[in-house]
Structure 1
Amino acid sequence: MPETVLGLTLIDSLYAGLFVLGAVLTAASILQATRIEDRETRHGLIALLATASGWSVTHVVTLLAPSQLIANVAYLAGLILGFSTVWAWLYFCSAYTGRVLHRDTWVVRGSILAYLSVVAVKLTNPFHHLYYRATYQPASFPAVVVEHGIFHWAVTGLSYALAAIGMFMLFELFREADYGTRPLAGLVAVMALPAILDVYSFASSTLVDLIHSPLGVAVFAVGVLFIHEDRFLAVQLTGDIAEPVALLDEDDRVRAVNDTARSRFPTLRDATGVPLSTAAPAIAEHVDGDDDVLALRHSDDTEYYLVAESTFSLGASNLGRVIVFTEITETERHRREVERHNAQLEGFAAGVNHELRNAIQVASGYTAQAASALESENVTDAQQSLARVSDAVDRMADRVNDLSTLARHGRTLRDTTTVDVAAAARAGWQTTDTGDCELTVTGDTTVSADRVRLEDLFESAFAFTTDNNATAVTVAIHDDGFSIADNGATPSVTDTTRFFDYGDAVPTTEAGMHLPNVQTLARVHGWTVSVDPDYEDGVRLEITTDPAPIALTDP
């Protein structure tokens, strides 16, 4: 076997070189670890790296010791640093996973007592040799041959058990995070591999009989701080969050998503490495916008999510963003319901004030005319005036009936059935006084609705067309809703939203509360209604039964 300049075989040199490399890598990783923002995680990881690096150095010195004194001191220092590494590992795991074991007074005191007791046994080993006996052999490799005692095996077993507890903490966090954690889990598993080498080195002379754990720590340090640092920091931020989570890199490319996000946002299932704006443009637009609430449409239902983001970095270097989607469907529905009810009540108040005041003024005016006509013994004029008073009273009764209908039907629906739109339109036509006006229905589809409220919606719409002097009405049914168009007067108002304001005489005073009623009955279903500003042959209402806010649908 060829020898090096130090008189070692190539294999022996490589063996010692592994621990030199381990010492260098862990020491170099300390600078990167100092940039971690979480103080306790930072302190735990720095302590782990520092003790592991020192442990590797003592291994190298022990293997190549030029004297018995240096060999004994290096080996003893390695035992102490190795045991210190275990406690640094536990501190780091507790802090990183969000546990409080490293802060618990009794746990800390018990740990310090156990640590000092073991260190005391190690330091006094030259007197009792219960931990190990070392024989210095300057002409061989390694330079020190160690015979371990019962305390060594007891402490080694304790160390492996404590290290396993730390690994369990990490694996549990990775399992809960359930996104992008396989590389991290693999790095933790690599840390356990040296234990196999330890057992093999004890049973065989092929390897040197010493602890190989510093090598595992070196691999772990390089992996979490240089290769997968974004995942390493992101998991700590969101590891125990059950909500949908998406991890983006500094260029807003999707790095990983958890199972919940894959289930709720199908477009993110295979989006790793793809810009978020490409994989899910609606989400990307929403994340970068001012609205915190994302509306997600699934089939006939809409879910709402509160979107929160958090950046993670090492020092001044931004590594990316974590996007968390918290479902607030019931809360948002309740908020929107309250908001809609408040707007509806305000509309009712305005409508009642406007309609009844007008009716009373008209009735009062014609009553005065009738009285004046009777004084002049003009019975014909008096009868005409009283007839107009009767019309005003009838109109007032109609408005009260309208308000009564809205009071009964103005609440958001809880139970719906499948309703044929064409049949509901014809039923609404039959119960509306439309005179000689003709109805045409084209298309055919069903919607999830309350049949009575849908028929009331058509009744109000048809009543409006009658007041708009229409002679023909067309209901056109399509996949995402339907339209109601008449050939009556074309309104001159450009602001079509005024058509739906209670108390606003738009487009005509005679139209009254018909269109506001249409809007209210549409909203209770979660639909939208608007006036088509480009329609020039009368008035056309567009009712959208499948509104798509910021919506994502299954492919």
Structure 2
Amino acid sequence: MTLPTTQLLYVTTFALATVGCLAGAWRAAERLRGDVRWGLVSLFCTSGLWAALTVAQLVATTESAKAALFTVGLVVGFATVGCWLYFVSAYSGRAFHRDPALRLVALVGFLVVTSVKLSNVAHHRYFSHTLEVDPFPHLVLMRHWPHWVVTAVAYTLVAAGFVLLVRMYARSGQDTGRVTLLAGAAGVPIVPDVVSVLRPDLLLGVTYEPVGVAVFAVGSLFVVESDFDRLRTPARTQVIDDLRDPVVVLDDRDRVQDHNPAAADLFAPAAERLAVGEPAPAALAETADGAMDETPVVLTVDGRPRHYVVRRSPVDLGPHRLGRVCVLTDVTRIESQRRDLRRQRQEMDNFAEAVAHELRNDLNIAAGYADILGDRLTADTTDATAMRAADAIGAAHGRIDDVVGDLATLAELAQSTFEVEPHALGSVVDDARAGLDHQDVRVVAGGDGTVVAEGRRLRELLSNLLAHAAARDAERVTVAPTHDGFVVRHDGRPIPHDRAASAFRYGTAVTEGIALANAGALARVHGWSLDLSTTATGETEIAAHGAETTVGSARGPVPAAESRAGAGSGSGSGSIEEATREAGQSSPRARSNIDSAASRRSE
């Protein structure tokens, strides 16, 4: 049969709306995921079904068939509102579409409206109609107040969905222009209906809402796709234009969306070249979002391997992950230095172990002979010089043994990789004081507080400071926390002003040993600094700066420890070779004492 031109025009319009909705549903199913996909697909499907029912109504030959198809179309059309709200809830990251109570309310409301529409054939209060044959057979609709109430409710719910969208865009700092255009598209469905009522000479009195809803659904897909496709723009704004490092932009499926020239040059010789729309190279797909893999990836550049650290940062819109920005940082030089450091560290460990083993073996032998010599001198002679020489030998052996122990501890604690946590300063002072080999030194904790540090290193640092104070004939030592560290103050002999600046360096340590140098090394390995000064009352003050601390209420004096043990030692970023040279200073002094004693004895 041949349709009149006007009828053919109307049928074609609604048929195109049906095809467009089906195409939109297919594209949404391909491009989107999760509840967002199901929400938009259902919106397209219901819109397309409504348009298809309108096509059937336009070509139906009887008034009753047209009225029945129109009524079913009204039911399907109202379902599009629920699909829209489901989509908006999912797209904005809300959970309204999964709330059982809201689902029940929505179902009950839909069934009530549906019952009113389907029963219109009996009460004719929702709409009434007549059959008009000019220019082709079609229904002329008269919509009554229930129809307009339901329409108002539907548009109110649509507006509520736009509120959710606007809030999501505001939180993400994105332009709301496209949402404004979409809101304008939401008003398209009702405009032709109003015009057909007010100016029937311009438009026939049929329903035009299916076409308007189809336009609205396509607009919704356009907004979603433009948000995802805009990944290149925010990624460039945020990262690419500000970096010279290779940068690659990936979508949420790890496909390349953009890259800068440096990245193209880096991957050009590789088997996995960068191509927009293609999967990303394996080197970019192995690191979690926001994390930097500590193990560099190795890429060949100009025929040579180079090491890169990959950091992936997410690009988000509200709750949606648009993609990732991968930044590759060349760490070849750092990796080479890291290998050298590991090698040097191993060499230092081996050196310290050899020093401790070899020196202590010889020291044990020498100490044994020194004990025999002392016993013979005690039994066989009253030569005071020889006795002093024997005592000097024993003292030198003891000092060398202490320094060897310091070297071994230094090599162990000089590692800069360790875990830190808050420690109560008073408790650490108690532990350090317990190992102090001077019972007559009174140690006072001047206040409560914590210091973020590695426990053993902090204890060794304080042990060295207490040992230094004891060696300077201190009678009282006070330890107290400060806002950026702690301070150790003692009343012993002050260090000369011209030697204060070098007191914490190996090779220039004060005569009492290397305790201050050890303390300085342990401070440096934490990233702290030590300052030495003399107070107005003549006390020596050693302050640690750069530590993370908390300062609490004051504490009373802490009684002196009764235990006796060897003074602690420390290590740090200072040179072990310097410590070795400092240790070597004991031998010339010991030999000088021995030679002097021997010469006096021969006289």
Q: In which range does the TM-score fall when normalised by the shorter chain?
A: 0.5 to 0.7
Q: Contact 2:370/2:393 (CA < 8 Å) preserved in 1?
A: no
Aligned equivalents of 1:389, 1:20: Cα separation in 2: 109
Q: Which protein has the larger Cα radius of gyration, Structure 1 or Structure 2? A: 2
Asked if 1:68 corresponds to 2:119, the answer is no
Asked if 1:428 corresponds to 2:501, the answer is yes
Q: Contact 2:131/2:140 (CA < 8 Å) preserved in 1?
A: yes
Asked if 1:275 corresponds to 2:271, the answer is no
Secondary structure of the equivalent of 2:189?
helix
Long gaps (5+) in structure 1: 235-246, 249-253, 297-304, 312-318, 326-348, 417-424, 437-448, 458-499, 515-555
Q: Contact 1:366/1:389 (CA < 8 Å) preserved in 2?
A: no
CA distances 1:192-244 after superposition (whole Å, capped 9, x unpaired):
44344544444444344555443344345445657854846x9xxxxxxxxxx
Aligned to 1:390: 395
Distance 1:130 1:505, change over 3 A: closer
CA apart distance, 1:96: 3.8
Aligned to 1:218: 214
CA distances 1:53-79 after superposition (whole Å, capped 9, x unpaired):
121123344456544233322322221
Aligned equivalents of 2:164, 2:35: Cα separation in 1: 16
Taking structure 2 as the reference length, what is the TM-score of the superposition? Answer: 0.48
Taking structure 1 as the reference length, what is the TM-score of the superposition? Answer: 0.52
CA apart distance, 1:24: 0.8
- The within-5 A match list for 1:92-111 is 92-111=87-106
Q: Contact 1:97/1:169 (CA < 8 Å) preserved in 2?
A: yes
Aligned to 1:124: 119
AA at the equivalent of 2:259: P
Aligned equivalents of 1:433, 1:53: Cα separation in 2: 84
Q: Contact 2:240/2:260 (CA < 8 Å) preserved in 1?
A: no
CA distances 1:85-116 after superposition (whole Å, capped 9, x unpaired):
22222233334444343333333333222222
AA at the equivalent of 1:368: G
- The within-5 A match list for 1:142-181 is 143-179=138-174
Aligned equivalents of 1:262, 1:101: Cα separation in 2: 32
Q: Contact 1:133/1:146 (CA < 8 Å) preserved in 2?
A: yes
CA apart distance, 1:309: 6.6
CA distances 1:533-555 after superposition (whole Å, capped 9, x unpaired):
xxxxxxxxxxxxxxxxxxxxxxx
Secondary structure of the equivalent of 1:510?
helix
AA at the equivalent of 1:428: A
Asked if 1:135 corresponds to 2:113, the answer is no
Query: Please, which moves more after superposition, 208-217 or 376-385?
Result: 376-385
Q: Contact 1:373/1:381 (CA < 8 Å) preserved in 2?
A: no
Asked if 1:510 corresponds to 2:580, the answer is yes
Aligned to 1:370: 370
Distance 1:291 1:42, change over 3 A: closer
CA apart distance, 1:21: 1.7
Aligned with 2:24 (options 5, 23, 29): 29
Aligned to 2:323: 322
Long gaps (5+) in structure 2: 250-256, 267-280, 294-309, 327-348, 414-431, 433-455, 463-481, 486-497, 510-523, 533-569, 585-603
CA apart distance, 1:179: 4.9
Asked if 1:8 corresponds to 2:5, the answer is yes
CA apart distance, 1:26: 0.4
Aligned to 1:407: 458
AA at the equivalent of 1:56: A
Secondary structure of the equivalent of 2:110?
helix
Residues paired across the two proteins, number:
384
Aligned equivalents of 1:67, 1:117: Cα separation in 2: 28
Aligned to 1:88: 83
CA apart distance, 1:136: 0.9
Aligned equivalents of 2:29, 2:151: Cα separation in 1: 30
Aligned equivalents of 1:60, 1:39: Cα separation in 2: 32
Q: Contact 1:194/1:216 (CA < 8 Å) preserved in 2?
A: yes
Aligned equivalents of 1:73, 1:291: Cα separation in 2: 57
Secondary structure of the equivalent of 2:96?
coil
Distance 1:81 1:395, change over 3 A: same
Asked if 1:78 corresponds to 2:73, the answer is yes
